[in-house]
Amino acid sequence: MTHSHTTRHNLPVALLLATAMLLAPAVSARASTSFETNRARGVAPKICPIRWQRGPRFVRRLVLCAANYYHVPGGPAKALAIANRESRLNPRAYNASSGALGVYQHLRRYWPGRADAYGFRGWSGFNGRANVIVTMKMVRHLGGWWPWGG
């Protein structure tokens, strides 16, 4: 009798543990880092893995790294000058009158298509990494900075 009583109480715990073990891979897949998610979307995780969230100095490093990596026209100096002019390297920059957002001030209506085209489908334009890398890929593809007047 004691044995069946113990088994009856352990059964819900065992079921809970079994369920947790079955769901663990799905939960860990959802909890992947942004770099892992980038790989799945076509952006290698080792391309400029700089923690841009730490402030303008780190956004600056990200811009310089990405400009070097993508060999953008005008080089890193031009990329940095435009980022400074557009947002002062602020990923949260927003112009309410035009709807421009992020480091390179992409217009809100164009951002989803650009993000999708350059490997960041569904990402916010306020994500510094997404904004900078989409910009570098776009500038490289277009052959210049003309969308930014330069």
pLDDT digits (tens, 9 = 90+) for 41-90: 566 668 999 999 999 999 999 999 999 999 999 999 999 999 999 999 99
Alpha helices in 1-55 (DSSP H): 2-30, 34-40
Mean pLDDT, the chain, integer:
81
Q: Is the pTM of this model over 0.95?
A: no
Sheet with 106-107, strands from edge to edge, namely 94-95, 100-101, 106-107
- In angstroms, the Cα distances linking 94 to 89, 103, 125 are 12, 9, 10
Q: What is the pLDDT of residue 41?
A: 52
